[in-house]
């Protein structure tokens, strides 16, 4: 009787421990700064490079104001890993920031993901402050106010996704949603990556308006393949070539992690999936099969291990029962743990 209840207790203890270990390993990067005032303590998590500085009112961060050939970066100090080291699960993220831009001809502002080895304090005078001669793996969402013929830019008011090259793989005309990037107006941007569907989405709206249902840009990309185990740094970057474009970031939040299982089967934007992208569904289904299979394998393994442990403990506790005082039996599990 005693042996039976204590081995059950031990099993529960082991399972709880396993659960805690899994929770502990959850990779996440989270920050939320409503503004960058003194009380926000933003410098505990974010860092300024180049000409990025606190604005005069001390509430926003200005990147590339006034001056010739200036560039700046505003980055999260802690690197992000796109593949969880232990579970090999892919990491999703949501990035949100509010900003305003005024003036003409600057490169605008970009959300960037750079290799963590990238020298953040080095500026090579290139576009976005890092594209001089350098060839590297990067991803950028440019909020571009300059029509660069060299890169085939359609106009001076667009949002583009750049992967390893300043020539965008996907572009959207911001005028078509009746917004002007560099009108000085406060805007908000949402950038989301959902790892299981490998969808990267960008949304833009006026400050105070709600998050649009339809993304301005979507792009299918496997970021875990792009960087593998390499960590990345996320940031906001800007360079103002030779004009006095003023770019301000008023708030910034970021959240990453392994999405709970229930979210996997739900697309970020259900409307968008209707009728479209048949191949994505096919891939999702095989993803599901794989998941079920691996869950089965894992389940079987855990079951076998559990049964083995129970048997082992049963034997140990069963054998010792006659010579053990009762309170010692209860304590046994903890000692066995270590
Ligand atoms: C901003 O901060 C600086 C240094 O802490 C201070 O001297 C200045 O008065 C502040 N400006 C405003 C508008 O609060
Ligand atoms: C962008 O959209 C605006 C408004 O719909 C349109 O007038 C303009 O021609 C578009 N520009 C390009 C390059 O498509
Ligand atoms: C300033 O920028 C414009 C547009 O990129 C370019 O045409 C011009 O040559 C630049 N001037 C200087 C002095 O760099
Ligand atoms: C499970 C886990 O690691 N959660 C952490 C995620 O990040 C926040 C902010 O850094 C922590 O407070 C959580 O403990």
Is the four-CA dihedral 161, 163, 164, 165 of positive or negative sign? negative
User: Which residues in the chain come in under a pLDDT of 70?
Assistant: 1-27, 65-69, 104-105, 124-134, 240-244, 260-338
Nearest residue to 312 (alpha-carbon basis) of 19, 17, 7: 7
Backbone angles phi, psi at 48, to 5 degrees: -105, 140
What does the DSSP 8-state code read for residue 213? S
Domains of the chain and any CATH numbers: 25-273 (2.60.120.200)
Confidence (pLDDT) at 338 = 42
Cβ neighbours of residue 323 closer than 8 Å, sequence gap 6 or more:
none
Q: Indicate the top mutation candidate among 151, 173, 204 to test ligand 2's pocket, ranked by most ligand atoms within 8 A of CB.
A: 173
Give residue 28 CA to ligand 4 midpoint distance, Å: 6
Q: What angle do CA 32, 92, 295 make, to 5 degrees?
A: 135
Tell me the whole-structure pTM to 2 decimals.
Answer: 0.68
The runs of H, that is alpha helices, within 84-232 are 223-227
Q: Which residues line ligand 3 at a C-beta cut-off of 6 Å?
A: 105, 241-242
- Kind and range of the H or E run holding 163: strand 158-163
Counting ligands in written order, which one lies closest to the CA of residue 53? 1
Question: Going by CA atoms, what residue is nearest to atom 12 of ligand 1?
Answer: 57
pLDDT in tens, 202-248: 999 999 999 999 999 999 999 999 988 889 999 999 876 656 678 89
Q: Note the pLDDT of residue 313.
A: 64
Report the candidate in 151, 159, 188, 197 with the shortest Cα–Cα distance to residue 176. Answer: 159
Ligand 1 pocket member 57 (CB < 6 A): yes
pLDDT of 262: 39
Residue located via tokens 């089967």: 265
* C-alpha of 146 from chain center: 28
């Amino acid at each position: 009787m005693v042996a039976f209840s204590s081995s059950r207790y031990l099993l529960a203890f082991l399972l709880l421990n396993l659960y805690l270990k899994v929770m502990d390993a959850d990779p996440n990067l989270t920050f939320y700064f409503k503004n960058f005032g003194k009380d926000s303590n933003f410098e505990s998590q974010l860092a300024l490079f180049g000409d990025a500085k606190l604005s005069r009112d001390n509430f926003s961060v200005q990147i590339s104001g006034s001056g010739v050939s200036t560039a700046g970066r505003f980055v999260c100090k802690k690197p992000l890993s796109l593949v969880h080291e232990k579970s090999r699960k892919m990491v999703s993220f949501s990035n949100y920031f509010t900003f305003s831009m005024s003036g003409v001809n600057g490169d605008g502002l970009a959300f960037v993901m750079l290799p963590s080895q990238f020298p953040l304090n080095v500026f090579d005078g290139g576009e976005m402050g890092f594209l001089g001669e350098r060839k590297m793996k990067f991803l950028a969402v440019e909020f571009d106010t300059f029509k660069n013929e060299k890169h085939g830019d359609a106009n001076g008011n667009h949002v583009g996704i750049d992967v390893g090259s300043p020539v965008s793989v996907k572009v959207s005309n911001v005028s078509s949603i009746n917004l002007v990037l560099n009108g000085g107006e406060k805007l908000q941007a949402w950038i989301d990556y959902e790892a299981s569907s490998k969808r990267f989405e960008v949304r833009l709206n006026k400050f105070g308006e709600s998050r649009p249902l339809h993304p301005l840009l979507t792009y299918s990309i496997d970021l875990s393949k792009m960087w593998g185990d390499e960590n990345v740094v996320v940031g906001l970057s800007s360079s103002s070539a030779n004009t006095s474009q003023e770019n301000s970031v008023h708030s910034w939040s970021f959240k990453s992690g392994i999405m709970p299982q229930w979210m996997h089967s739900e697309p970020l934007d259900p409307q968008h999936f209707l009728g479209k992208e048949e191949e994505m569904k096919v891939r999702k289904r095989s993803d599901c099969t794989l998941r079920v299979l691996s869950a089965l394998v894992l389940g079987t393994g855990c079951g076998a291990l559990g049964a083995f442990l129970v048997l082992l403990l049963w034997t140990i506790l069963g054998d010792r029962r006659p010579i053990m005082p009762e309170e010692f039996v209860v304590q046994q599990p903890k000692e066995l743990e270590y």
